Amino acid sequence: MNVEVTKFGFGAGGIGNLYTEVTDADAEAALQAAWDAGVRYFDTAPHYGLGLSERRLGKFLAGRPRDEYVVSTKVGRLLEPFDGTGLDLADGFAVPRTHRRVWDFSADGVRRSLESSLERLGLDKVDILLLHDPDDHGEQALREGIPALVDLRDQGVVGAVGAGMNQWQMPARFVRESSIDVVMLAGRYTLLEQTAAEEFLPLCEQRGVSILAAGVFNSGLLARTLVSDDAKYNYAQAPKELVVRAQRIAAVCERHGATLPQAAVQFVLRHPAVASVVLGVKSPSQAVRNAGLFAQPVPDELWDDLRAEGLLAG
């Protein structure tokens, strides 16, 4: 990937009012705290708060030198005006239902989505453009969406292109059959779960495709030092066996003077295909805490002990 990103990426879903409302002031303070901690890579999407995340990020970045930060956004969900009542909580965001999402991975849909995103962001280009969750639209994404992205890249409209998904199998097909630069992989390569490790990550290394690692806490199961029985995994209640596994990993971390979230971040960063770990942030305290996870390496003996106890493959 010919775009340089910081190891700590700011996931801007939270400032799009993910699950709960975040005030404009708190969103700006979270962005400022991350900026002060050295973060210069920010990931957003139209899906996040029906454009609210993009608008807030754009407002924060306005006036800052354009060559000092990297922005990624996504295509595949067009926002159309809608007169719905209530909040968008069915899709996870505490924002008024002023728009509805329409799936579209066509070449025209890609261009229209990017144009709208640039307007909300107040930018004339984004650095990285990703197809967003084309799980049920794989053929259209490969036939129309990716060629449109590649055309935009070749024209210099965007710097790098790829896909962002919660699975690795479809991105593997994209890597094999196209010339994408990057994959944002959520949840499939973590301290708890390494399903992408055997086939997908080596493929990306071979093809020179960078990984932006998201969901490294598996939706919450690895996010706290003490793992609670009601922790989330893949946005739902975690199965008991995974809770127990996470608790065992946490115990090994504690023996080595490390925390579970710290090890979760440091583990993913060790892989040579991973260019950045993107963590969701919705408050200044989260930004500071997350920055600390990147700054605190863990001893190599920790990984050895996890392997010895059958908690880590390889």
Q: At a CB cut-off of 8 Å and minimum separation 6, what does 162 contact?
A: 128, 129, 130, 131, 149, 171, 174, 180, 181, 182, 183, 184, 209
Q: Identify whether the C-beta of residue 213 lies closer than 8 Å to the C-beta of residue 189.
A: yes
SS3 content of the chain, % helix, strand, coil (to 5): 40, 20, 40
CB under 8 Å, gap of 24 or more: what pairs does 197-206 form? 197/271, 197/313, 197/314, 199/168, 199/172, 200/168, 200/169, 200/171, 200/172, 201/271, 201/273, 203/172, 203/175, 203/176, 204/175, 204/273, 205/272, 205/273
8-state DSSP, 96: B
| Residue 48 appears among annotated catalytic residues | yes
8-state DSSP, 174: H
d(CA 201, CA 66): 31
Q: Which is the catalytic residue, given 41, 48, 189, 233?
A: 48
The catalytic residue positions are 48
